[in-house]
Structure 1
Amino acid sequence: MLWFIVGGFCFGVLVAAVNAVSGAHPALVALSQVLGVGWSWAGLGVVAGANAVRRPAVTASGTLLLAVVGYYLVDLWNGVYAHQDQDHPMYGIDPTQAPVITSWDGVVGDMTFWGAAAVVSGLVLGPVGVVAGHPTWRGLLCRLVVPVGAAVEMFMLRLPFELQLQPRPVVVTTMAVVGLAGLITAGALCFHHLKARPGRH
């Protein structure tokens, strides 16, 4: 369990670090669109549960929780929550001369909200990871959670929103590729299941 928790923390650090430098290169933009989205975090929880020796739900929750902690610690380090003090007298004269302060309420609020979401999600995703290894219809449905989730998130949520704004070619392409990969993977999983167990469901 400890390895997964450490891995979760490193995953959160990686996602936040990639997000911070994603503007430097199109490849980093694409990587940010792959790592910093819901389906990849859900996949982390499923993998943690599938490989847990015991207590898969607790392992998945702990992994996702530490990922959230790692993510927001990097954001804090990178100054995401730093801003000029609007209550300082200099702010009304020259905002750039006002002292920089950290919005601790924002840090704690975001970490608490997403930390709670991570724990609740892990309690579901951990057992999903366990059942995903079973050669049954239930196992197939659990194996489809991540690829179908990726397709739904990309094609029904993120891509339409991106297209309403000023579409970024790299982002649109990445979302389309990930969504198609999710659909293809889901189809392959269904085909493999039917081929491996004909007439035995």
Structure 2
Amino acid sequence: MKIMMGALAAGAGFGAATSLINALSSPYGELGAPLRGTIWAGAAKVLSLLVDAGWSWAALAVAVGWLAGTPVRGALAGALALIAATGAYYVTDAFASGAESEMVRWGVAAVPLGLALGAVGAAIRRPGLIGLLAALTVPVGAAVQMVVLPPQPHPTLTPTIVLAEVIVWTGAVLTAGWVVHRFWAARRAAVAG
């Protein structure tokens, strides 16, 4: 029960924070206008590009699934986290920027995606190839999203977009490298033992 409550809390916190960061990153909104022209506006834009991306929402579900431990609990925790994140995002959006809601559509999508990604998170604990593939899900997903749908809300590259892309690529490469290293170290230890 604690794990599921934690997944709900993590999801709600992530969704609300994402919405607030988006509101702060917009120089045209009430929250973002005072930051216009400051270093904080650039920081908010970079954060917005990082947390309002599909791979980061997937990482939320994978992380709570990993914390849950078993495939069933992981799947449930992943779904709960994404449902809570979606609800909190759109409720906060309504207050922070008066944006229209797509909560029902994304809430429905959160169920199968959360179940699958939460189960993947739980599978990270498994030894061998299954654990390796599960652990590579988020970094490979981030890299694929960078190729297929990079964070470029403007037709021209800006320093904030370039910085966000560098952060995502660096994180994806370092994480994938660590995962592969961990896999080979465990394999060597099993052969030696």
CA drift at 1:52: 1.8
Q: Secondary structure at the match of 1:197?
A: helix
2:78 aligns with 60
- Alignment map for 1:28-107 (pairs within 5 Å): 28-52=44-68, 55-81=73-99, 106-107=100-101
- TM-score relative to the length of structure 2: 0.82
1:181 aligns with 171
1:172 aligns with 162
Work out the CA distance in 2 between the residues paired with 1:154 and 1:5: 28
**8 A contact 2:23–2:97 mirrored in 1:** no
Work out the CA distance in 2 between the residues paired with 1:43 and 1:163: 22
Work out the CA distance in 2 between the residues paired with 1:181 and 1:80: 33
With 144-153 and 182-191 compared, the bigger mean Cα shift is at 182-191
Q: Secondary structure at the match of 1:80?
A: coil
**8 A contact 1:154–1:176 mirrored in 2:** no
1:27 aligns with 43
Work out the CA distance in 2 between the residues paired with 1:195 and 1:70: 40
Work out the CA distance in 1 between the residues paired with 2:68 and 2:82: 14
Say if 2:150 is the partner of 1:150: no
The amino acid of 2:175's aligned partner reads: T
Work out the CA distance in 1 between the residues paired with 2:179 and 2:155: 35
CA deviations 1:15-57 (Å, max 9, x no partner) are: 0000000143111111111111111111110111111266221
1:135 to 1:9, Cα distance in 2 relative to 1, 3 A: same
Q: Percent identity?
A: 35
1:59 to 1:183, Cα distance in 2 relative to 1, 3 A: same
**8 A contact 1:60–1:125 mirrored in 2:** yes
2:182 aligns with 192
Instruction: Mark the runs of 5 or more structure 2 residues left unpaired by the alignment.
Output: 27-34, 36-40
1:2 aligns with 5
CA drift at 1:164: 7.8
Work out the CA distance in 2 between the residues paired with 1:27 and 1:183: 22
Q: How many residues align?
A: 173
Root-mean-square deviation (CA, aligned residues, Å) is 2.1
1:92 aligns with none
1:119 aligns with 111
CA drift at 1:163: 9.0
2:29 aligns with none
